[in-house]
Structure 1
Amino acid sequence: MSDPGIERRGEAITIALVDDQALFRGGIRMLIGSQPDLLVVGEASDGRQAIELAARTLPQVILMDVRMPVLDGIEATKAILAQADARGGDRPRIIVLTTFDLDEAAATAIRAGASGFVLKDAEPEFLLAAIRTVHAGNAVIAASATRELFEHFEQAPAAPVVPERFAELTAREREIFLLAARGLSNSEIAAAEFLSEATVKTHISRIFGKLDVRDRVQLVVFAFEHGLV
C-alpha cells in the first residue's frame, strides 16, 4: 500500500512501515512525517505485502512488526534480505517492532538479519533515533536488551567452534570485538582502551570486514553463536 503521490525529499532516509494495525501505522507515519530527514515511502499490513513493497520502493529502513497475519515478520525479514542479495543492491536495515521485552521472536528476527528491535511503547524520540542509527550502520539498538535476548533464549554450544576468520583479528581487534559484543558504544570502548573514537571506528570497520558481518547487531550474533562472550 505505497503512496504513489509521495515526493522524495532530497537525501531523506526512506522508510517502509509494516504492521497489521492501521492505527499504529498512522501514528508512526505522522511521527516520521514531522522529521525533515525521514520519509515514509509505503506501508504494508502483512509480511507478504512487505516483500512486494520492499521490491517496489527499495526503502533504506523497514519498521517490521513481528506478529502479523499471512506471513510473519521473521519470514518477511528473511525474504526481503534474500531478495536484496539476489538483486545485488544494498540491504535495507530492518527494525523489528515488538510488544514484549524478552521476545524470542525478536531474537529469531535478529538472527535472520534484522538490525535490532524496538518496543512498541518506546518513546517517540527513541524510535526516531533508532531509525537514524541503523541507517548509519554503526550501533546496536538497545544493545543490553539484545544481549539479554540471546542469554535468555540461546545456550552456547558445549564446545563452540571458533571460525577461522576470527583468528585473523589482531590482539587489539579481539579486545575491541569483545567490548562491542557486550554492548559498549564507541566512546565507551575508547575510554576503556585509551583510544580515540576515530581509532575505535577504524578498528570496528576492520573487524566487520574480517568477520564478514554487516553491523554491530550481527557482531553480537556472531559472538553469542560461537560462544565468544
Structure 2
Amino acid sequence: MHELRDATISVVIIDDEALVRQGLTLILEAADDIRVVGVGDSGAAADLVSTHRPSVVLLDIRMPAPDGLTVLRHLRTLPDPPQVVMLTTFDMDDTVRTALELGAAGYLLKDTDPEHLPHFVRTAAAGGVVLAGSPAHRMRTAIRAGGADPEAAALVDTLTDREVSVLRQLARGDSNAEIARALHLSQGTVKDHVSAILAKLRVTGRVPAALIAARADILTAEPTR
C-alpha cells in the first residue's frame, strides 16, 4: 500500500469476490487522493476496519455469513464509524432500503461507470449521500407511491424553512460544502443546521434523514411555510 498523505481518503473494500476487490482497488488507486488500505471478505471486515480506521468502506451487501447487513450493523456501533457505501447488483431493492435505514451512506451498483467511482468515494468521505443514478430520483423510487407519509411530514414540519432547504439539498446527495455554496451559507452554519435536522427528525445519519424527506414528499416542492 502507498504511504498515506494528509487529506488522502482511506478506503477498505469488503467483497467475497477477489476479482471485484482487485478491480475496485485498481480503479481507486489511480486517483491521487484515494488509497485502498485494506481488502477482504466479510469475515475480515471487523479486523480491517479496526486496524486501518478508513474514511470509507465499500461493502458488498450480499455475502456468505456474515452478510453485508450484519457487517454494517457492527460498523455502525463503532465510536467513530466510517462512511459505509453498499455495493449491490440490484437497484434499490428491500435489502438496499434496509441498509439505508441502518445508516449506510448510500449504495452503488457493481456496474457503475469506473470513471465515476472516485467521485462517489469523495462524496461519501465528505459526508454526502451516495446513490446510483440521480439521488433525488433514487430516493423517491425507494418510497412506495401514494403521496406524503403523514408521520414523515409531521417530522419535517418541525423544521424551520432554512432547515427544510438544507434537508432538500442533503437528500439530493450534496455534501456540507455543496449545500453551503448552493444556499450561500458558511460550512459551519450548514453543519449546525444538519445537526439540528438530525435531532428533530430523530435519526443518526444523513441517509435516514433523506429517506424521511422522500417520504414527506419535499424533494421537488419548495417550502410553503
Quickly name the TM-score band, shorter chain normalised.
0.7 to 0.9
Deviation at 1:221, TM superposition (A): 2.4
Q: Is the 8 A contact 2:103 2:204 kept in 1?
A: no
Q: 1:156: Cα distance to partner?
A: 6.7
Q: CA deviation at 1:64?
A: 0.5
CA distance, structure 2, for counterparts of residue 189 and residue 61 of structure 1: 21
Q: C-alpha displacement at 1:72, in angstroms?
A: 1.1
Find the partner of 1:121 among 96, 111, 115: 111
* CA apart distance, 1:198: 3.4
Partner of 2:76: 81
Once the 2 structures are TM-superposed, how far is the Cα of residue 96 of structure 1 from its aligned partner?
A: 0.6
Query: Is residue 2:56 matched to residue 1:56?
Result: no
Contact 2:28–2:35 (CA<8 Å) still a contact in 1?
Answer: yes
- Conserved 8 A contact 1:134-1:141: no
- The gaps in structure 2 that reach 5 residues or longer are 219-225
Match of 1:111 in 2: 101
**Alpha-carbon distance, 1:70 to partner:** 1.3
* Alignment partner, residue 192 of structure 2: 206
1:32–1:38: 8 Å Cα contact kept in structure 2?
yes
Secondary structure of 1:199's counterpart equals coil
Cα 1:157–1:173 shift into 2, 3 Å: closer
Q: 1:35 to 1:91 in 2, by over 3 A?
A: same
Deviations 1:56-94 (A, max 9, x none): 211110000000001111111111110x23xxxx32011
Residue number among 4, 16, 19 corresponding to 1:9 in the alignment = 4
Over 3 Å counting, the alpha-carbon distance change for 1:181 and 1:133 in structure 2 is: closer
| CA RMSD after TM alignment | 3.2
Q: Return the match for 2:172 from 177, 183, 196.
A: 183
Deviation at 1:158, TM superposition (A): 5.8
Q: Deviations over 1:91-116 (max 9, x none)?
A: 20111111112322111111111101
C-alpha change, 1:146 and 1:206, in structure 2 (3 Å) is: farther
Q: CA deviation at 1:141?
A: 3.3
The alpha-carbon deviation at position 174 of structure 1 amounts to: 2.4
What TM-score does the superposition give when structure 1 sets the normalisation length?
Answer: 0.76
- The TM-score with structure 2 as length reference comes to 0.77
For the residues of structure 2 that align with 1:188 and 1:134, how far apart are their CA atoms? 13
Q: Is the 8 A contact 1:103 1:149 kept in 2?
A: no
